[in-house]
Structure 1
Amino acid sequence: MDIMNDTSRSGAGDRWAWLFPGQGSQKVGMGRRMLERSVAARRVFEEASEAIGVDLARLCLEGPLETLTATENAQPAIVTVSVACLAELQDLGLSPPIVVGHSVGEFSALVAAGCLPLADAVRAVRKRGELMASVTTPGGMVAVMGLEAARVEALCHEAARDAVAVVAIHNSPQQFVLSGDVRALERFKDLALAAGAKDCVMLEVSHAFHSPLMAQIHEDWRAEVARLRLRMPRCPVILNTTAKSVETLVCIRRSLVEQLTAPVLWMQCVKNLASLGVTRVLEVGDSKVVSSLARRTVPTLQTQTFLDPSILNDLTPVKG
């Protein structure tokens, strides 16, 4: 059953999109409810664990947080939890109407759309995390809240006069993440607070993700992506780097490669969903991060997440 226009539990004419969270959404205990209630979800964890030789169920449930947060662990763990949620939905006869994933969540979205087998996706993001962790160029990231895009871009340009700093993630109209050289980010932080930002926080990350400082691993990652067994999607997929729907497999490979150094256009992706008539979004994962950002971008969107205990009942079509 396709819930793009399902009216059994929601208003007539509702159009759905499924959203998949990315790195930063990890927490010890994630996936517990799926593992406890769903055979299909347990099979997903087993397949993913076998693919990379890591007990992902134990990692997600027990941590420790420091180990789970390591980039090479967090990425396959997040994808596995999202695909476990997907498996529960598919057990109900539901299929994704349109999908978009935040950063590494794009791999979850590609699995949901039938573009990529789970085992391949988990192996790829494990390698992606290992490569990202291997970058020797120092850098960091800073989140700014309460300034509009044009002001953020201008202050970023000013701060980056002798070092690298770019707007790396467009989360919502009032939340952006910059990435680059720590000196430039510290300058930006001072400038942003002086300009009236509500908050500006240095993130606890090891590298300057989604910035030119990740270029060191670009060719190695390109070679990994070239080996992926991709298929054309069964439903529309909105890509992070373009905020547009997939048209060719070349588009998918290019987006996955360019994500390393190009910004995540999440805000623009959500606006594109709204332009396509989407009125409701479901966050497919043990998180409410990306659905919350979506609502901040398009306040009229109605959101649901797997953190809601009644979610499976809400989505199950009424019989009779």
Structure 2
Amino acid sequence: MITYQKTKEMKAYVFPGQGAQFVGMGKDLYEGSEKGKELFEKANEILGFRITDIMFEGTEEELKQTKVTQPAIFLHSVILALTSDDFAPDMVAGHSLGEFSALVANKTLAFEDALKLVSQRALAMQKACEANPSTMAAVLGLEDEVVEKVCEAINEVVVAANYNCPGQLVISGSNAGVEQAMEKLKEAGAKRVLPLAVGGAFHSPLMEPAREELAKAIEETNFSEPICPVYQNVNAAPANDVATIKANLIAQLTSPVRWTQTVKNMIIDGATSFTEVGPGKVLQGLVKKVERKMEVAQL
């Protein structure tokens, strides 16, 4: 159990990443809020296609396209936060793609600018995946250090990519690298090793072309002083400084998502509850695995 000082209620808001999408997502926000409808229509205009049609009534296959999935999850999360009466964060964090949603929530990025970056990120990642066929796999029931050592010993690109919660780590790399690592991890005593249905090796060195492309776009985007700290994926540390936030956001694509460490640090720094903003309940489950007594909720 993590010990921390509870001086006052401190609300942490967390934003999900790719994989949380579902058909019908965000429809209630569009129909139930004038501001929500306005923001969705603005998004259709910015993206140059009616993403709302796919989100509300498309097929699962259509929703799975990277150019759709990432903006869809971002829009659901951000519009939910922007149309909520009781959204008042003391700290924010997002899992991978969710970091962009968190940066709108704490007013570092304007809605329109962040949506453009998310769209560019999705397309750049798609391109990198096509150039380098690659994959990811979830490893259950092993210590992080064991997984890291197994990956380091393999003579192919394969790295620890998502530290989701104790005993759950995702590896990422070339098809051959991940395949070899899966065998070695089973031998090392993993309870389960599951290949993931993803487009490529996210959060690995194979995303370097996408990182370079996104870096240019991030540098050209206006970032403002945040209203509360964002705990960023690359180092799990709170950031308030614009230059630091930008640098960490650029590094994110080729670096691991340190989610376990992020949740621990938010609790140590005083978080008394975690509210998930967006589709699904994955992050609430991960928070509970880090600290089972923590209060979790959905916005």
Same fold flag (TM > 0.5): yes
Deviations 1:147-174 (A, max 9, x none): 111111122223x2x2100001110111
Cα deviation for residue 12 of structure 1 reads 9.6
Cα deviation for residue 141 of structure 1 reads 0.5
Task: State whether structure 2 residue 146 is matched by structure 1 residue 137.
Answer: no
Higher mean C-alpha deviation, range 190-199 or range 113-122: 190-199
Cα deviation for residue 224 of structure 1 reads 0.8
SS in structure 2 opposite 1:40? helix
Structure 2 equivalent of residue 165 of structure 1: 158
**Cα distance in 2 between the residues matched to 1:300 and 1:40:** 36
Structure 2 equivalent of residue 35 of structure 1: 30
Q: 1:217 to 1:15 in 2, by over 3 A?
A: closer
Aligned residue among 80, 105, 116 for 2:98: 105
Task: State whether structure 2 residue 171 is matched by structure 1 residue 178.
Answer: yes
Task: State whether structure 2 residue 90 is matched by structure 1 residue 87.
Answer: no
Aligned residue among 262, 275, 281 for 2:274: 281
Deviations 1:165-222 (A, max 9, x none): 0001110111111110111211221222233322111111111111001112332221
TM-score normalised by length of structure 2: 0.93
Amino acid at match of 2:16: P
SS in structure 1 opposite 2:227? coil
**Cα distance in 2 between the residues matched to 1:131 and 1:183:** 23
Amino acid at match of 1:38: S
**Cα distance in 1 between the residues matched to 2:198 and 2:171:** 12
Deviations 1:268-315 (A, max 9, x none): 110011101112110000211112111111222111114xxxxxxxxx
Higher mean C-alpha deviation, range 216-225 or range 107-116: 216-225
Percent of aligned positions that are identical: 37
Q: Answer whether contact 1:83 1:108 (CA < 8 A) is retained.
A: yes
Deviations 1:60-85 (A, max 9, x none): 11222222111121111111000111
Structure 1 runs of 4+ aligned residues shifted over 3 Å read 11-14
Amino acid at match of 2:24: G
Cα deviation for residue 13 of structure 1 reads 4.0
Cα deviation for residue 43 of structure 1 reads 2.2
Structure 1 equivalent of residue 3 of structure 2: none
| RMSD after superposition | 1.6
Q: Answer whether contact 1:243 1:265 (CA < 8 A) is retained.
A: yes
What does 1:64-83 correspond to in 2, within 5 Å? 64-83=59-78
Deviations 1:209-255 (A, max 9, x none): 11001112332221111111110101111111111111421111111
**Cα distance in 2 between the residues matched to 1:106 and 1:143:** 21
* Structure 2 gaps, min length 5: 1-5
**Cα distance in 2 between the residues matched to 1:123 and 1:40:** 19
**Cα distance in 2 between the residues matched to 1:197 and 1:37:** 46
TM-score normalised by length of structure 1: 0.87
**Cα distance in 1 between the residues matched to 2:212 and 2:168:** 31
Number of aligned residue pairs: give it. Answer: 292
Structure 2 equivalent of residue 15 of structure 1: 10
